[in-house]
Structure 1
Amino acid sequence: MANSAAQAIARPELSAQRLTVLVALGDAQRAEQLADALAASDDLLPMLAGSSTGQAADVAVADDTALESRAVSSTMPVVLLSRRIGHERLPGNVVAVLPPSADGLLIAAAARLAASGYRISRSSEVVHGDFHDGLAEEEVLDDHQARPALSPREAEVLALLAEGAPNKVIARRLNISVHTAKFHVAAILIKLGAANRTDAIAIAMRQGLVLV
């Protein structure tokens, strides 16, 4: 494993403070690259499948190969990297489907939501409850698609993002915790299909969700 992820695993005291993410991919090189990307976030602790602590993770990021080989516990929430779309039947613990080409920031956002008990639907909803097939590559929003359904709080967070406000400022302005602010930002990234904050603002501007 590359150094950054290896260092995180070598320091078990960090696991109590960070969300543990099991990375289970058929492509070992892709798995290491993703683990490194996730390790760059101060709240995520990636673990490669096969490690002694992997099955104790909070959430898994897996592909079809890992699901078929049962490398992930059936009780662990899974963010699936797959081209599956439509009404294909998936295991009940798969709570989001992202395209295999999704970048680390988008996967990290989905992992945070999945670990918090949310399921990410094709209709851009983030819900507690029944599973709806996850986001697919074709569903990235463009100028001709319907506007995503943001909650009133998410709309407030998005407006502050457009002002360039970091999570601490968002939390202070809305009188919420920094953790809650980070959660809302993650939800916005997922709903907009954005790779990062800057991308989210650009998409929101094109959709007329914010004016700057």
Structure 2
Amino acid sequence: MASSAIQTIARPEPASTRLTVLIALGDAARAEQLVDALAASEDLLPILAGSGMGQTADVALVDEAASESRAVSPATPCVLLSRRAGHESGNVFAMLPASADGLLIAAALRLAASGYRIGRAGPSDLGAHGEFHAGVSEDETPDDNQPRAALSPREAEVLALLAEGAPNKVIARRLNISVHTAKFHVAAILIKLGAANRTDAIAIAMRQGLVLV
């Protein structure tokens, strides 16, 4: 299945309904901005490093100034905001441009927390749109013959909302459809992508270039 080519580490789903996100950035203003942006997501609970609450977290957001901070446990998967390529370590699961917006960061945090490593695209691909595609680690072999899933326009809309972490009720409200119909579209997307769950579907879609946040 396509998911086997991109899932690198099997991590259990967090017990809490919200992922605890430790924000450890050298730029305090940027950190506070992202705390506010991520807090708007129903499934993310951002906390600032050094606030007295951030010793344990499901996933961390760091930048180059704070990537070696002891505020982040070596066992915590990290999303790194970086202005240059090649700055990687064992617990960096995703690297994004420093200017990435909140939606892109939130999507990467969800995937990193679930054990997916997200490859950074080249500078020309990142550009002003902040686009990125999921990748595989060096010791994995992607299935280059895997066809892109043929999603309907409505399924593409649902997939975009899944990438934002939207639950079925939110998808239904945003697209003006019933919750039952939203569940149907989600199930169809998982089947077409060969995904085991919603997180798996997002990772596969990014791998195939179906989701550009």
Match of 1:105 among 79, 103, 109: 103
**Is the 8 Å Cα contact of residues 157 and 170 (structure 1) preserved in structure 2?**
no
User: Structure 2: which 5+ runs fail to align?
Assistant: 1-14, 128-132, 135-143, 160-170, 172-181
The offset of 1:46, in angstroms, is 0.7
- Quickly say closer, same or farther: Cα 1:26–1:158, change in 2 above 3 A: farther
Match of 2:94 among 93, 96, 108: 96
Counterpart of 1:140, as a letter, is L
SS, match of residue 55 in structure 1 = coil
**Is the 8 Å Cα contact of residues 74 and 91 (structure 2) preserved in structure 1?**
yes
Match of 2:156 among 156, 162, 174: 162
- Quickly say closer, same or farther: Cα 1:175–1:91, change in 2 above 3 A: closer
Q: 1: CA distance between counterparts of 2:149 and 2:90?
A: 30
What residue in structure 1 maps to residue 201 of structure 2? 184
Counterpart of 2:188, as a letter, is R
Identity of aligned residues (%): 52
Deviation track 1:180-211 (CA, whole Å, cap 9, x = no partner) reads: 2355236535764722xxxxxxxxxxxxxxxx
TM-score (norm 1): 0.62
The offset of 1:75, in angstroms, is 1.3
What residue in structure 1 maps to residue 30 of structure 2? 30
**Is the 8 Å Cα contact of residues 18 and 43 (structure 2) preserved in structure 1?**
yes
Counterpart of 1:170, as a letter, is H
> Which of the pair has the greater relative contact order for Cα pairs under 8 Å at 6+ separation?
2
After superposition, residues 53-202 of structure 1 pair within 5 angstroms as 53-85=53-85, 88=86, 90-121=88-119, 134-140=120-126, 155-156=149-150, 160-162=154-156, 166=171, 168-174=183-189, 180-181=197-198, 183-185=200-202, 188-189=205-206, 192=209, 194-195=212-213
**Is the 8 Å Cα contact of residues 190 and 201 (structure 2) preserved in structure 1?**
no
**Is the 8 Å Cα contact of residues 58 and 76 (structure 1) preserved in structure 2?**
yes
TM-score (norm 2): 0.62
Counterpart of 2:197, as a letter, is T
Counterpart of 1:84, as a letter, is R
CA-atom RMSD in angstroms: 3.5
- Quickly say closer, same or farther: Cα 1:185–1:46, change in 2 above 3 A: same
Counterpart of 1:93, as a letter, is N
